[in-house]
Structures are given as C-alpha cells and as structure tokens.
Structure 1
Amino acid sequence: MAKATKKQALGRGLSALLKDPDNDIKTAKDKNADKVVGNIVELELEAIEVNPFQPRTSFNEDALQELATSIKELGVIQPITVRKTDFNKYQLVSGERRYRASKLVGLKTVPAYIRIANDQESLEMALVENIQRQDLDPIEIALSYQRLIDEIDLTQEQMSDRIGKNRSTIANYLRLLKLDPIIQTGMRDGFLSMGHGRALINVEDTEIQLKIYEKIISDALSVRDTEQLVRSYQKNGKDFSSKKSASPSVPKEIQSSVKNFSEYFGAKVDVKVNKKGNGKLIIPFSSEEDFKRLQKLIKGED
C-alpha cells in the first residue's frame, strides 16, 4: 500500500511539473524530460485528445460499459499512452477504450505514459499497438497493415520484424482487402471468419463472390463447406452447384436472433442445428479474463 501511495504521489508531482510554463517539455533533450518521458503521470482527461490515427473505428458499448464498471471499482490498472503535442496538451497513442471508460465514470485524471513523437511515429505506434490486440476483426488488422505500408512506407519484411508476425500471415490479411466491400463489412460485423474470407479470395468474379457470401449466411456454411463450394465453382464455372451442407440450414428466426447474442456478448456467436432440430450456441473467448466477462453476462451480474 505504501509503495502504491508513493507512486501515485510521484505521478501527481510530475503532473504539476508539466503545468509549469517555465519547464515546458517539447523534446526528449529538454530539461526534466527524463523525469517525465517513460514515467507514469496523472494527466487530466481534459488535456487529452483522441488520436486521429486510431485504426480502430468501432467500440462495443456493452464491453465499454463493463470496463467502466471495473474502472469505477478498481481504477485504471494499465496506464494509457499519450504523446505530448503542446503545453499541457496530449494525444492518445493507445488505450482509447480505457480513456472512454474513464470519462464514462466521471474520472478527472488518468494514469498515462508520456511519449515524445511526431505524427509518423505516433501513427506507427498506434497501428502496431492495436495490431497486437486480440479483439480486432480481420479487416481492421488488414487495414492497419495497409496503412503501415502506405503511410509509414514499410515493406512486408520490415513489418514482419516490427510486429513479430510471419510475412505470410501479413500477406494473408492484406489479401482480404481484395474482397468485395460488402463481404468485408460482413467480416467486420462477425458474420464471416477469416477462414471464410480466405476461401472467397480465390474467386475473382465479384458476382460469384457475393453469391457464395449470401449462401454462407443463409445456410450457415462452415469454412470447409465454403472451400468446397469455391472448388466447385473453379471446376464448373458460373453453373457451379454444391451439395447442401451436411448440417441442415439454421431457421431464419434463429439466424436473426444470433446477431443479438453476438452484440450482447461482444463476440461472434455461432449456432449449430442438427437434423432433429436440436442445436447449440458456440460463444468464443480470447482469454481467461474474457471468459469471466462472458460468465458474468450469462449470470446477469452487474
């Protein structure tokens, strides 16, 4: 407890230093920069602006509210990262969910790591940090890779070194951007997995791509079913026909409800139905913490 109190007091002391016009820190070489850069500082939320380079464009409201509840009880455990833009002005590099949740519960300050970075460095840090997240959809990741290529001028090999991913993995994500925008939207909304998308990439005809996409949705095709359908098209051309999936089609009423489940749990919920009409819901989780979050939602706990 004594260590935590001392650390928090130190953060407030550094915060006061940053508000002193005579000690305005603009570069890493300025006086007192070593006391601030790389340290945890309590910053006022009013002094922080959202990062315009943020590759993430959507935030699940239920998950955000749950994070806000956690912050209200325990505080912000993991500091956000910001870059200094002007006197007592900062811009988010990473941690926008924590920033938004902190505002939701009415916090005035938030713990933050301060960086000195230009626009290009800030963009690269934001993109790389977000790529490492487990809850980004495949299209968000692909768009982040593309921005690193277009705006930071990185090659796929350089990107592989920066983010610790195989070049082939990066290439597979980038290929998803060749899909029709409607299909990309379906992936972002959780109706298709990356496996479905990778199978559809092999179909160059956009019209056929969309027909297969519609069949995936209507018949709840698995990735393997989709791959078989694509192979059938490649063999038979536009007159391709496919065997019906071994599992029967999911009733439309159930299909329409699955999206509500996905929105509630903040994860892509899958449904399987057998010939007798019995079925099961499959709710994925990315970590033990995520599993506990789902468990609370199922129990109806606050």
Structure 2
Amino acid sequence: MTKAIKKQALGRGLSALLKDPENDIKSVEDKNADKVVGNIIELEISAIEINPFQPRSNFNEESLRELATSIKELGVIQPITVRKLDFNKYQLISGERRLRASTLIGLTHVPAYIRIANDNESLVMALVENIQRHDLDPIEIALSYQRLIDEIQLTQEQMSERVGKKRSTISNYLRLLKLDPIIQTGIRDGFISMGHGRAIINIEDLDVQTDIYQKIVSQNLSVRETEALVKNYHEGVPAKTEGKPKADSAFVVRETQKNTFNDYFGSKVDIKVAGNGKGKITIPFNSEADFNRIIKLING
C-alpha cells in the first residue's frame, strides 16, 4: 500500500513538472527529461489526442463497458503510452481502449508512460505494440504490417525482428490482403477464420473466391473442407452443393432492414444473413440514453 501511495505521489509531482513552462521538455537531452521520459505520470485526459496511426478501427462496446467497470473498481492497472507533442499536449501511442474506458466513467486523469518520438517512430511504436495484442482481428494485423512496409519501408525480415514473429507468419497475414474485400470483411466479422482465408487465397479469380466464400458460410464448411474445395477447383472437379440458397434472400434482408428494424429501433440496423438462413443483427446506439431507449423497446 505504501509503495502504491508513493508511486501515485511521484506521478503527481512529475505532472506538475510538465505543466511548468520553464521546464518544457522537447527532447531527451533537455533538463529533467530523465525524470519524465519512461516514467509513469498522471496525465489529464483532455491533453491527450488519439493517435492517427492506430491500426484498430473496431471497438467492441460491450467489452469496452466491461473494461470501464473494471477500471472503476480497480483503477487503470496498465498505464497507457503517449508521446509528447508540445507543451502539455500529448498523442496516444498505445492504450486507446483504456483511454476510452476511462473517459466513459468520467475520469479526468490516467497514468501514462511518456515517450519522445517523431512521426515515424510513433507509427512504428503504435503498430508494433498493437500487433502484439491478442484482440486484433487478422485483417487489422495484416494492415498494420502493410503500413510498416508502405510508410516506414521496413522489409519483412526487419518486421520479423521488430515484432518477434517468423517471416512466414508475417507473409501469411499480408497475403490475406489479396482476398476480395467482401471476404476480408467476412474474416473481420468472424464469419470465416484466417485459416479459411488462407485456403481461398490460393485462387486468383476474385469471383471464384467469393463463390467459395458463400459456400463456406452457407454450408458451414471447416478449413479442411475448404482446402478440399479449393483443391477440387484447381483439378477441375465440380463442387458438390447442399441446398441452394434462395435467390431473393438478400432482397428480403434489405427490405426487412429498411421497412421494419430501422423504423422500430430508430437507428440504422445492420443485418447479415448467410445462405443457410443464419446471421446476426447489429443495433447501434449513440449514447447511454440511446442504449436505454433501445433496451426499453426490446423489453416491450
């Protein structure tokens, strides 16, 4: 308990140092830089801007609320990482979920590690740290690798050293970006796995790729069954079908979404249906009040 109190007091003291214009630290050579860089400091959330290099684009709302509840009970256990931009102005490098969850419960300060980095270094740090996270989907990871190639000109060998992954693993992720965008979306939404995607990618024709993707979803094919389907395609063997999906199913979904769900919930409901009739309904909300309104509608 004593250590925790001392650590928090130290963070507050360093925060005061950063707010002193006479001690504005802009590089690691500046006075008192050693007291700030790499240390845990209590930063005002209002002084932190979101990192434009953040590879994550999807944040699960339920998971975010669970994290917010945990932070409310236990505090922010793992500090976020930021880089100093200007006087009392910082940019997030990693920890956006923690920052969002802290904001959700009304916190004004969060513990943070301070880094001083240029844009390229910030991009590399953000991408490498996020690639290591377990909750990024395969396409987000692939896009992160691609950005390291396009914007930092890292080779796959250099990336392998940076992220601690085999070069073949990095290559497998990058190959996913050759899939038809519809299939990439299917991987991101969890309709098929990365293993399915790796099997489909052996077919160059994008139309054939999407045909096989539809079969995987409608017939609930395993990765091994998908590999066999691809092999049969290359060998010219006709694929077996198990019940043809109704041709007008997509039309029915669109009309139902437009005329029923959207009107009832008062928001743009997303409906995804596979050929076998299985699917999911996503109802977005804009605030806690909007969320409670939708709950009341569902509960009648």
- TM-score with structure 2 length normalisation? 0.82
> How far apart are residue 242 of structure 1 and its match?
3.0
CA distance in structure 2 between the aligned counterparts of 1:102 and 1:123, rounded to whole angstroms: 23
Segments of structure 1 that go 5 or more residues without pairing to the other structure are 264-302
The one-letter code matched in structure 2 to 1:256 is G
Residue equivalent to 1:292 = none
Alpha-carbon distance change, 11 to 178 in structure 1, aligned in 2, over 3 angstroms: same
Q: Secondary structure at the match of 1:197?
A: helix
- Whole-angstrom distance in 2 between the partners of 1:171 and 1:256: 31
CA distance in 1, matches of 2:48, 2:201: 41
Q: SS of the residue aligned with 1:170?
A: helix
The normalised TM-score by structure 1 is 0.81
Aligned residue number for residue 251 of structure 2: none
Q: Quote the residue 1:241 is aligned against.
A: 239
Partner of 2:157: 157
- Distance (Å, rounded) in 1 between the aligned partners of 2:104 and 2:168: 40
Q: Which SS does the other structure have where 1:209 is aligned?
A: helix
Query: Match of 1:284?
Result: none
Identical aligned pairs, as a percentage? 74
Separation in 2, partners of 1:251, 1:25: 59
CA distance in structure 1 between the aligned counterparts of 2:242 and 2:128, rounded to whole angstroms: 42
User: Amino acid of the residue matched to residue 240 of structure 2?
Assistant: S
Aligned residue for 2:236, secondary structure, equals helix
The residue that corresponds to 2:144 in the other structure is: 144
Deviations 1:7-53 (A, max 9, x none): 00000000000000000000000000000000000000000000000
Indicate conservation of the 8 Å contact 1:38/1:115, yes or no.
yes
Distance in 2 (CA, whole Å) between partners of 1:217 and 1:103 is 38
Q: Deviations over 1:185-224 (max 9, x none)?
A: 1111111101000000001111110100011111111101
Distance 2:202 2:240 in 1: 16
Aligned 1:114-125 pairs, distance under 5 A: 114-125=114-125
Q: Is the 8 A contact 2:218 2:275 kept in 1?
A: no
CA distance in 2, matches of 1:86, 1:242: 63
The DSSP-based 3-state class of the residue aligned with 1:43 is: strand
* Corresponding residue for residue 279 of structure 2: 256
What is the aligned residue count?
253
One-letter code aligned to 1:9: A
Letter in structure 2 aligned against 1:143: L
In structure 1, the partner of 2:289 is none
Contact 1:18 1:24 in 2 (8 A): yes
Distance in 2 (CA, whole Å) between partners of 1:122 and 1:64 is 24
1:129 alignment counterpart: 129
Partner of 1:4: 4
- 2:92 aligns to what? 92
**How far off is 1:256 after superposition?**
2.2
Which deviations, in whole Å up to 9, do the C-alpha atoms of 1:50-107 show, x marking residues without a partner? 0000011110000000000000000000000000000000000000000000000000
Confirm or deny: 8 A CA contact 2:21 2:87 kept in the other structure: yes
CA pair 17-76 structure 1, distance change in 2 beyond 3 A: same
Report if aligned partners of 1:160, 1:166 keep a CA contact under 8 Å in 2.
Answer: yes
Q: Is the 8 A contact 1:93 1:125 kept in 2?
A: yes
- CA drift of 1:244 comes to 5.3
CA RMSD of aligned residues (A): 1.7
Is the 1:232–1:242 contact (alpha carbons within 8 Å) kept by the matching residues of 2? Answer: no
Correspondence for 1:13: 13
Distance 2:279 2:99 in 1: 33
In 1, Cα distance between the equivalents of 2:126 and 2:114? 14
2-side partners of 1:158 and 1:123: how far apart?
15
**How far apart in 2 are the matches of 1:42 and 1:54?**
22
1: CA distance, partners of 2:67 / 2:107: 13
- Structure 1 residues 208 and 150: alpha-carbon distance in aligned structure 2, compared to 1, 3 A threshold: same
Determine the C-alpha separation between the residues in 1 that align with 2:215 and 2:155.
Answer: 36
SS of the equivalent of 1:85 reads strand
Counterparts of 1:136 and 1:192, CA distance in 2: 15
The alpha-carbon distance between structure 1 residues 63 and 8, as it changes in their structure 2 partners (threshold 3 A), is same
SS at match of 1:175: helix
3-state SS, counterpart of residue 279 of structure 2? helix
AA of the residue aligned to 1:190? G
